[in-house]
Structure 1
Amino acid sequence: MDFQPKDRPADAFQRSLTADQIELVCRRMLGSSARSAVELGWGGYNTTYRVELADGPVILRVAPEPARQTRIEHEFMRNEYFAAPYFAPIGALLPRTLAADFTHQAIGRDYVLQEVLPGQPGPEMLSAREPAARVPYFHRLGEITRAIHEVRGPGFGLVAGPHFESWSEALVSYFLDNAEDAEDAGLDGADLREVAACASRDADLLDEITEPRLLHGDLWHVNVMLTPELDIVGVFDHDRSWWGDPAADWTVHMASAKPGTERDAFWDTYGRPSSSPEARRRGLYYRARHIGAVRLERQRLGKEGRVEESYPEMAEVLAELA
């Protein structure tokens, strides 16, 4: 087999499989031998390969070892697998899962084999266009995000559970888990605990959100496939999917980040979010949630300087919540 893994430091979070392990997975799950395997480099959590088999290519995605998973990222691959049926409104855009193995008998890690999506990676296509030319992409992204957010769920929290009866309980639990994860990584989690305490005091405000809606959790240009016309023909990596307030979704956060730019086209098809005082205050908790998650990701990727930037960002949120 022609095997092309990424050259990573020995202490990198993402760990490559061996060629023998990839061959074992393909024979075990698909009954086919791998001709080549190329590790793909866009993601920062799972380890992903494009594998060429005798009858065509497949995508192999491999989760981190259980001991390397944090509380807020626990069994993400299983969460994605469980959540897939709820993404039925955009089912034609999702990669079809060919096989999944959560037994840990073969390689000691969860993994899935999926069909290859059409199109080209979003980062490649959008970086080649001037900002003003990206409007069709944001229009389509708004449509897709709205379709996802129309799906109602049984409780608040990760789609696969555990579920909470109230939105405030889900958020408080998340912030406390995030704080423990930060501390396990040698970081200061005190500000996350402060946010949790604020959320507990603001429970009545947060619990004005009574209907859990489906959130993709990570829908942005890095997790889509595009045509040359910037139409979205593939959506993937919904392992962070939650039941919650649509305003808390990563897509809404990112679309809001640069007002007055081409990103405003997102709202043409998605619809304008509420700008009430209550919605703005809830938005502070959603911003804190994103800051805390990104802090851990930066730590995992060895971006120490960017980790430090998250503390004044969180301090701004706490100052507004005071």
Structure 2
Amino acid sequence: MEFQPVQRAADAFQQTVSPDQIQAICRRAFGKRTQIVSAVELGAGTYNNTYRVDLGEDRPVILRVAPEPARQNRIERELMRNEHASLPYFAPIGAMLPRTLAIDFTHEVIGRDYLIQTMLDGVPGPEGLTAYPRQRWASFYRQLGTIARDVHSVTGPHFGPVRGPGFATWSEAMLASLDDTAADLDDARLDATDVREVAKAAAQDRAVLDEITRPRLLHGDLWTVNVMLARDAPEPTITGVFDCDRTSWGDPAADWTIYLASRRPDRTAFWETYGAPSRTPGATRRALYYLARHLGAIRLERHRLGRPDRDPGTYAELSAVLTQLLA
């Protein structure tokens, strides 16, 4: 079998699996006579190890392998299991999602969770989008707004990660997330003082957070990097959505998609289909807590990716958020 791993430093967070392990995984999933033509690791993701595996059939399959349990942070624990629990709730966009062909959380083959999915048609979002001039990206953002709206229309049984732990109130879920983020930053030997200050303010603002009473489905990572676009279409056309492992139940305004759509004015087409964001005093204050939580997670991810030079930006932004919260 031809094997093409991504070359990384020995101490990198993502650790590739061996050709023998991929062979064992595929034989458990598809039978002992399964032969692999090639396995090519895809380098766009930053958490799981992802491979395009050619089994000599009409279409390759996608193998995703989670990090070893000991390498997972609290806010990213067992994400693959969370995705598996989430899939039935993605029915409104089910036609866009890959199909799960095999899944194994036993750790009997390798000491990591893994799943095998169908490979979606099209080209990855970042590659496909840059093939069009920026003035034609508006249609992409309008489609993304529709998808986000459809996802957020789904209601759930509790607040917090889809797989759990679940919380009765939105404030409890937010406080638990902020506490876990701070603890993860401590483990990484990064300063988490500002995140803890945000958590203290949130504890005093429970009433504002608990104006959100109905848990709605949040994708957690819906943006350019996790969609597929049609090949050679007249305008950017989304055909697939993947990597639904950071899903949770909560306030749609807290979703990563909303954060990114709000960051730049050239993305205003998103709101044409999604709907205008709420500007009530409560929504405005909650948005500060959501921003703080995103910044804490960004700080942790940059550290994990070996980009500490970018960390100071999160401290400055979080300082500005705290100033507004404590004013």
Q: Distance in 1 between matches of 2:182 and 2:256?
A: 20
Large movers: runs of 4+ above 6 Å: none
Partner of 2:271: 267
If the length of structure 1 is used for normalisation, what is the TM-score? Answer: 0.98
2:306 is the counterpart of 1:306: no
Write the letter of the residue equivalent to 1:54. Answer: G
Q: 1:77 aligns with which of 54, 77, 80?
A: 80
Q: 1:127 aligns with which of 119, 127, 130?
A: 130
Write the letter of the residue equivalent to 1:194. Answer: E
1:120-150 deviation per Cα after TM superposition (whole angstroms, max 9, x unaligned)? 0000011222221111111110111000000
Q: 1:53 aligns with which of 52, 55, 58?
A: 55
Q: Distance in 2 between matches of 1:294 and 1:126?
A: 24
1:80-139 deviation per Cα after TM superposition (whole angstroms, max 9, x unaligned)? 011000000000000000000000000100000000001100000112222211111111
2:17 is the counterpart of 1:11: no
1:238-260 deviation per Cα after TM superposition (whole angstroms, max 9, x unaligned)? 1110100000011111111112x
Q: Is the contact between residue 102 and residue 115 of structure 2 (CA under 8 Å) also seen in structure 1? A: yes
Write the letter of the residue equivalent to 1:3. Answer: F
Query: In the comparison of the two structures, how many residue pairs are matched?
Result: 320
Q: Counterparts in 2 of 1:222-241, with a 5 A limit?
A: 222-227=225-230, 228=233, 229-241=235-247
2:16 is the counterpart of 1:35: no
2:251 is the counterpart of 1:245: yes
Q: Counterparts in 2 of 1:17-166, with a 5 A limit?
A: 17-31=17-31, 32-55=34-57, 56-166=59-169
Q: Distance in 2 between matches of 1:136 and 1:6?
A: 33
Partner of 1:288: 292
Q: Distance in 1 between matches of 2:130 and 2:186?
A: 36
Query: Residue 211 of structure 1: CA displacement?
Result: 0.2
Name stretches of at least 5 consecutive residues in structure 1 with no aligned partner.
none
Q: Is the contact between residue 132 and residue 236 of structure 2 (CA under 8 Å) also seen in structure 1? A: no
Deviating more after overlay: 65-74 vs 305-314: 305-314
Q: Distance in 2 between matches of 1:276 and 1:23?
A: 55
